[in-house]
């Protein structure tokens, strides 16, 4: 069952990227992240009360609570970097790098969770790494001023940081969610992300821009929040029941959904090199399932 949930997580995660891209065309990425987190938090707590796990919150031990909070902080950092990268770069540039967190996750799962790494998994990780490298293409832009040029390259730094924090999120959550009902664990983590996101908004003085968000972009931001909430609920239940080194790669198959919709919605095309990279990513991910 956890395999099915991992695939469902991938579907919703793929939709999240597209909906978020539609919602941050003019809206500041940090503000959009903070608003999305409000939606995710509401969605998470509704699920907590639906399954009746709210009464178990007092039973969570300190270790689990600490790791859930750390996981939330890592998630917040990953989100802030990811959506900033998404705002500056194209979807087909940013998403592959974010998905490369699989490689680091497998390594960390081996080192700290003592999950077995077979030769098949090693090959899979290599394919994912090569596929990611092939999909990273320089953004084609007209002649720009130096300041704009630095901004154009900035998406790469943010995308890499997003992948690093995403890897830490998975490992910390795997430890923190042990013995905790998955919906409740997701809700607690989301609360941490919410606080972190709004602190960043106020620290940057971006709260004044909220009133200027168009109704259309606000709808897409909220829809991306709902998609994120659904993805998280499926993901952390799968993570609780299954192996992190398998659940994470399956979740990264969301790149297929993202690439298809980016072609349909934003008319973003893949070069032959990028298409080969995507194929290697998919093959490597599927090998992870059987490795």
Based on the number of CB atoms within 10 Å of its own CB, is 236 exposed (0-12), middle (13-18) or buried (19 or more)? buried
Residue-wise pLDDT for 79-113, tens only, equals 889 888 888 777 777 877 876 777 787 788 788 77
What share of the chain in percent tops pLDDT 90? 24
Taking residues 264-276, report their average pLDDT.
82
3-state secondary structure of 179: coil
**In this predicted structure, what is the pLDDT of residue 173?**
82
User: pLDDT higher for 214 or 284?
Assistant: 214
Confidence of residue 142 (pLDDT cuts 50, 70, 90): very low
Give the Cα separation of 140 and 156 in Å (integer): 14
- Scan for tokens 């940090």, then name that residue: 30
Grouping H, G, I as helix, E, B as strand and the rest as coil, residue 26 is: coil
* Whole-number Å distance between alpha carbons of 190 and 166: 14
pLDDT for the residue numbered 149: 45
Closest CA to 280 of 125, 128, 136, 135: 128
pLDDT confidence band for 273 (50 / 70 / 90): confident
Please report the pLDDT score of residue 12 as a whole number. Answer: 92
More confident residue, 208 or 151: 208
Burial status of residue 42 (CB atoms within 10 A of its CB: 0-12, 13-18, 19 or more): middle
Q: Identify the pLDDT of residue 138.
A: 54
Q: What is the dihedral of CA 40, 46, 51, 57, to 10 degrees?
A: 80
Tell me what the pLDDT averaged over the chain comes to.
83
Question: Among the ranges 27-41, 257-271, 276-290, which has the highest mean pLDDT value?
Answer: 27-41
Give the domain ranges of the chain: 2-290
- Higher pLDDT: 92 or 119? It is 119
- Give residues with Cβ within 8 angstroms of 199, minimum separation 6: none
Q: H/E element holding 198? A: helix 182-203
**What is the torsion angle, in degrees rounded to the nearest 10, for the CA atoms of residue 192, residue 194, residue 196 and residue 202?**
-150
pLDDT (tens digit, 9 = 90+) per residue, 56-70? 998 899 999 999 999
Tokens 């992300």 -> residue: 193
Q: Tell whether the model's pLDDT for residue 222 goes beyond 90.
A: yes
For residues 173 and 279, which has the higher predicted lDDT (pLDDT)? 279
Say yes or no to pLDDT of 211 above 60: yes
Q: What is the pLDDT of residue 34?
A: 92
Residue with structure tokens 């999120």? 169
Contacts of 51 (CB under 8 A, 6+ apart): 181, 183
Min mean pLDDT across 38-52, 97-111, 231-245, 270-284 is at 97-111
pLDDT exceeds 90 at position 221: yes
- Mean pLDDT to the nearest integer, 281-286: 83
Where does the pLDDT of residue 252 fall: very low under 50, low under 70, confident under 90, or very high at 90 and above? confident
Question: Which has more pLDDT, 146 or 7?
Answer: 7
Section 254-267 average pLDDT: 81
């Amino acid at each position: 069952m956890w395999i099915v949930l991992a695939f469902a997580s991938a579907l919703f995660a793929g939709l999240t990227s597209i909906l978020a891209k539609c919602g941050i065309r003019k809206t500041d990425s940090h503000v959009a992240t903070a608003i999305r987190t409000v939606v995710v938090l509401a969605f998470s707590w509704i699920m907590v009360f639906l399954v009746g796990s709210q009464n178990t919150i007092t039973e969570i031990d300190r270790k689990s609570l600490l790791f859930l909070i750390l996981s939330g902080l890592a998630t917040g950092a990953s989100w802030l970097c990811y959506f900033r990268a998404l705002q500056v770069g194209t979807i087909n540039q940013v998403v592959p790098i974010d998905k490369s967190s699989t490689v680091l996750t497998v390594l960390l799962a081996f080192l700290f969770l003592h999950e077995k790494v077979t030769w098949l998994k090693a090959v899979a990780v290599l394919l994912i790494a090569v596929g990611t490298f092939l999909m990273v293409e320089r953004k084609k832009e007209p002649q720009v001023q130096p300041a704009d040029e630095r901004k154009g390259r900035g998406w790469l730094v943010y995308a890499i940081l997003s992948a690093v924090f995403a890897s830490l999120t998975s490992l910390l959550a795997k430890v923190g969610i042990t013995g905790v009902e998955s919906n409740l664990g997701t809700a607690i983590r989301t609360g941490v992300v919410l606080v972190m996101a709004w602190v960043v908004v106020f620290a940057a003085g971006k709260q004044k821009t909220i009133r200027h968000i168009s109704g259309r972009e606000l709808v897409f931001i909220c829809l991306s929040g709902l998609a994120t909430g659904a993805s998280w609920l499926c993901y952390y239940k799968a993570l609780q029941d299954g192996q992190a080194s398998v659940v994470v790669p399956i979740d990264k198959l969301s790149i297929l959904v993202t690439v298809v919709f980016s072609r349909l919605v934003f008319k973003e095309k893949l070069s032959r090199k990028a298409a080969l990279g995507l194929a290697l990513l998919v093959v490597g991910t599927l090998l992870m399932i059987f490795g």
